[in-house]
Structure 1
Amino acid sequence: MKALPIMFLGSFFILSTSSAGAQITNPKKVLERKVTNKANQAINKEADKAVDSAFKAKKNPNEPKKETTPANDTTVLPAGGSEPSLQSYTKFDFVPGEKVLFYDDFSQEAIGDFPAAWNTNGTGEVVTTNLYPGKWMKFAMRECIWTDELLKLPDNYTIEFDIVPLGGLEGPGMSGWQMRLMQAKNAKAWDGGSAPGNGGFKFEVAYYGRPGYSTWFYGDECAAAKLSGYVGDEILKEKINQKYHISIWVQKSRIRIYQDQNKIIDLPKAFPTGCVKPDRLRFEYGSAMISNVRIAIGAPDMRSKLITEGKLVTYGIYFDVNKDVIKPESYGTLKGIADVLAENPDVKIKIIGHTDADGNDANNLDLSIRRAAAVKSELVKTFGIDAARIDSEGKGEIQPVAPNDTPSNKALNRRVEFVKQ
């Protein structure tokens, strides 16, 4: 079971290789394809060995052995070696979109399968780990994995995902990874080349951990507006086998990227008007595990919703699976709500927690109560809101706003409501 807007981790997948085009009849091309598939299989085996080795190395040798399975192991070792706190996110101004367009935590996929909402011209699989809870999509290859259906993205939207960089692609160290937010030419297949599709934005992490970016466009005027650069701060380099939360905020031409609590890229003219309209998210060339992919639109007008309409529904307060501890990437949303309350000192509110229908009804109710209470506690403790102004309660799974049949719909049901009293 899960509840309120969650960002979590999970397991991954190794796919059977799928062809991106028509059937190949040329014997030379058949041979080349078989060689590529064989190489990908070898790469994935090496990645598995590297991950297993890293997981074993992180275990405390003095800790007593206990019976657990990867699927229910909730041990989390965040980047930096210690649990990040809400206070460490005081400069984090990211607020996720309100309406979910796409969500996948791979919870409905079988271990070892390739997830249904994605496509590939390489390999990948859904897996679990003993370090990070949930299910993950894992890849180690030089090919691509992309959202199968084209995304209908407006001018303003947000993208979030959790990622764990892995090794195994080239040598024992971290392999790096790449993500493209692009406009596809081929709706049903992949776009090849170093500048695929009709243009877009690429975020990449090199094998030595340094994040960087580039854009590509077509046409004389648009091509001249392309950008590239990198993040030079040594502290912001990614490390192998550590989890990172990536948040992307697109507002017309502007794109901002956050790595955990840090805003690392802010480009006001990343997407020049009329040059590109992204409709696909793609991961490629590298080795990593990905989960909790969330694409949403419409940043909420918190003041209008709460003060004028009397009710604010938010999906920007995150918890790990079955837990009531607020994740620090919730800071931007909590601060926005606290600011509204501070500006309206006579307003009293009730915080209501809701879950999806996974798991036991009584457990869901208890979890929603505890999560609502945790939100109240943070507003009081971290933001100085008078506790007498806030009530809290949980409704569990009894008031869904969507069927509990897909990851996207379940994500809609996992929410926190603020009701003016």
Structure 2
Amino acid sequence: MKLWQKVTIGLAAGAALGFAANGDAQHVALIETYIKPIGDIFIKLIMMVVAPLIFFSLVQGVTSFSDSASLGRIGLKATAAFITTTFFAIIIGITVAILMKPGVGTAISASDLTSDFVEKIEFSFINMVTNVVPSNIIKAFYDNVMLQIVFISLFTGITLNKMQNEDTKIVDFFHMMSRLVFKMMAIVINLSPYGVFSLTCWLITSQGIEVLSSLGKLLGAVILAMLVQYIVFGILIRVFGRLNPIPFYKKSFEYQALALSTSSTKASLATTMQICRNKLGISNSSTSFILPLGTSINMDGMAIYLSLCTIFFAQISGVALTMQDYIIIALTATLGSIGGAGVPGGSIMMLPMIISAVNLPIDPLKAVALIAGIDRIADMIRTMINITGDVTITLIIDKTEGTLDEELYLSECDD
């Protein structure tokens, strides 16, 4: 049986058991005691390996380029593409929010979200850029600060490229370490059906369907916006990659199912890279360089969610947003999504910043608390969109560089 089939079975079984146990205090306690720890261990195993995985993958990717010119060109292409798709993802989120009006007619009143003291949460682009450079390499890995790890990886890879004429053994060491951490992650990912079962069971048991009924319109708007973005990925592949997007969609299901069930692009990174190389025909250099970079700075799903939720709270508050407000939402959500950690719950840290940026008369922390119930469900969907966007850009850039194996991309893959 294929891994994605096992993951799907785990997802369905966890949901079924969760719905059956929901509402029974004794069953909830049993699941929290004996089943939830399985998912906790699974996530900890992923987080244990993910920082070394990104580091060694990026180093391998950088050292795979023979000259600095091609590295710089592809790096600029990737960064520009990631920022552009994120910005347009926000436009989709804003458009869906304006058309569906998820905050209009809800049972939630603006008074529920106000307080005597509304904390103003500021965001500084200069601070974000400055904080990309770590003062302590070990601390960056200890705290799992992904943007800092990306900086360390790129700096290490560029330095190794300059040393290759002196000694190639150290480059070979990093390539060997890359294979090692990939093998470690592969072992962890084989446990994903059990982790998915546990996480899904606990999610449904603890939250049930009450959350969906109270914030169903918002969740519906999120799903619609994500679906539109998913279709846009196929259009981008057709227009800019000049490829039939159907093979892309068919071969992406396995990593999408893993991302959906774990709510982490990092958790599905190793599987995604394997599919990129072995099924989609993307070159090893692009897979090793662009894809880990994308999982750290490209958050299309989060960008949609942040913009949509901000307008949702504006509608609840009765605030008529101006064009200037929409521009502020677009810019801050773009920066906020880039600054997101790419791990479960990343949007919770960024949403108060955007609410404050447009001066909504609500307490940002109360707003976050309100949507916390559906955030875990929305996180699953937006994570799938995030990783799909990463692969889309990697595929298109590899095609424009002339290194894509189109025969493999178009072939049927039974593995």
Same fold (TM over 0.5): no
Where is the helix percentage greater, Structure 1 or Structure 2?
A: 2
Where is the strand percentage greater, Structure 1 or Structure 2?
A: 1
Q: What is the TM-score with the length of structure 1 in the denominator?
A: 0.27
- Which gives a bigger RCO, structure 1 or 2 (Cα 8 Å, sep 6+)? 2
